[in-house]
Amino acid sequence: MKALILLIVATPLFIQCTSVDKMIDRGSYDEAFLKAHRKINGKSQPKEKHLLALHEAYLKAVNRDLNQISRLKRSATSADWERILNLYQKLERRQDALQALIPHQINDWPGDLVEITDFEVDQMSAEENLVRALYEESNDLLEEARFGNRDAARKAHHRLNRILELRHSFKDTRELKAESRSLGMTNVGLFVQNQSDYPISDDILAELILANTASNWIAFHVQPEEGREMDFEVVAEIDRIWTSPERIHETITEEFREIEDGWEYVLDENGNVKKDSVGNDIKQTRLTTVRAKVIHTELFKEAYVEGTIRCKNLSTHIVDYVPLRAELIFSDLAARFIGNRRALSTKTKKLIEKPLAAFPTDEQMIADVMKEFQRNLREKMYREDLYARL
C-alpha cells in the first residue's frame, strides 16, 4: 500500500467528482486507475465495472509510459534519462498497487491477469545512463567554464551533485565538483569607508563587513589574498550618521468610572422611605462617579545611517551605485495619575506600574542602527542581480 500512497499524493483532488470512464476517455489514466482502485480495495465482491475500468486504465497507463520512454531514449540527454528513470519508478509503483488488490479480485477479474514485469533492471540501466549523460554534460560545461563562463560552471556543479546522489563515487566526480565550485564563484573584494562626520570605531567597521560574509555562489574577501583575482569590488560608503535630540511629550487625559459606594434608602415622591410588602425599608446600592487625571509621558529618539553600495566590475570598469539606509527608533511610554485609582482602566494601570526607561546614549543608538545597516548591506550585496547587471 506504500506505492498506492505515493500515487495518491500526486493525484489532483478533482477525481472525487469525475467518473472513471470519463477520466479514461480524456487520457487521465493514473487518476482513473486510482479511483477504480479505491472502489475495489477491501471489497470481497467488487463490481465488475470497476474491475474493467481498473484493467483498462492500468493497461493504457503502462502503454503510454512505455511509449514515452521509447521516445525519450532517442535523444537521451541527462534530462531525458532523468525522466525515463522517473517513469520506470512510476511503472513499478503502479504495478505494486495493482498487486496489492489481487487477493480481493476473486474470480471476477476480466480476462487474464496482467503480466507482472520486473522493472528493476530497467531502472538500474536508466540510472547508469543518467549518470554517464550527466558526467559527459558536466565535462562539456567545464570546458566552457575554464574560459570564464561562470554560469556553465554552476550548471556543471548541479549535474555533478546529482551524480553523487546516485553514485557515492564515480570516476573523478568529486574533483570535478570542486573545480566547478571554484570556477562558478563570483569573487568580490569588500571594503567599507566612513565618509560621515561621525567617528565610528574600528570594531564597528570590522563587524560591519566581517560577520557571515558568505553566500552560495559569491565569495567575499575582506583582505584579498595576493594573486587571487577579484571579479568585483564592493565598497560600502557611509555618507551620513544622525541622531535626533531626546524628546519628551506629555499628554493629560481624564478617566472616570461609576462605582458602588455603599447603600441608601429608596424614597417616594414625598421624601419618605419606601416599604416593601412586609413593611421593611427598601434599600438600594448607591453609585458614585470617581475621576482621575492621567499624565502620559512618551520618550522618543531616533537614529539613522545613510550610505551607498558602490559596485565595480573589475573587468569592464562599469560602476553601479545602490542607495543604502537604516533607521532605528527608540520610544517608551509610561503614566502617572492624580485622583482616584479606581477610575483607571486596566491598560492605564499597567502603564502607571511600568517604570519609564532611560534614554539610550548616542553611542548605543549608533551601534544598534549600524547592525540594521549591516543587515541591509548584506541583503543587497548577496543578490546576484547586483553583479549580473554590470
Question: Which residue has cell 520618550?
Answer: 299
> At a CB cut-off of 8 Å and minimum separation 6, what does 365 contact?
243, 301, 302, 303, 328, 330
Query: Which residues are paired to 240 by β-bridges?
Result: 306
Count the Cβ atoms, other than its own, within 10 Å of residue 130: 24
Distance CA 331, CA 361 (A): 13
pLDDT value at residue 18: 63
Q: Which residues contact 284 (CB under 8 A, 6 or more apart)?
A: 263, 264, 265, 266
- Output b/e per residue, 36-48; b: 16+ Cβ within 10 A: bbebbeeeeebee
Q: Which of 235, 196, 214 is nearest to 366 (CA)?
A: 196
What are residue 329's DSSP bridge partners? 302
Mean pLDDT (10-residue bins), the chain, 390 residues: 44 52 87 87 78 87 94 92 96 87 54 71 95 97 95 96 94 96 91 88 75 73 79 92 94 91 80 80 84 95 95 93 94 94 92 92 91 88 81
What pLDDT is recorded for position 109? 53
C-alpha distances in Å from residue 14, one per residue of 28, 32, 135: 11, 11, 41
Q: Which residues contact 10 (CB under 8 A, 6 or more apart)?
A: 30
Q: How far is CA 172 from the centre of its chain?
A: 35
pLDDT (0 to 100) of residue 118: 85
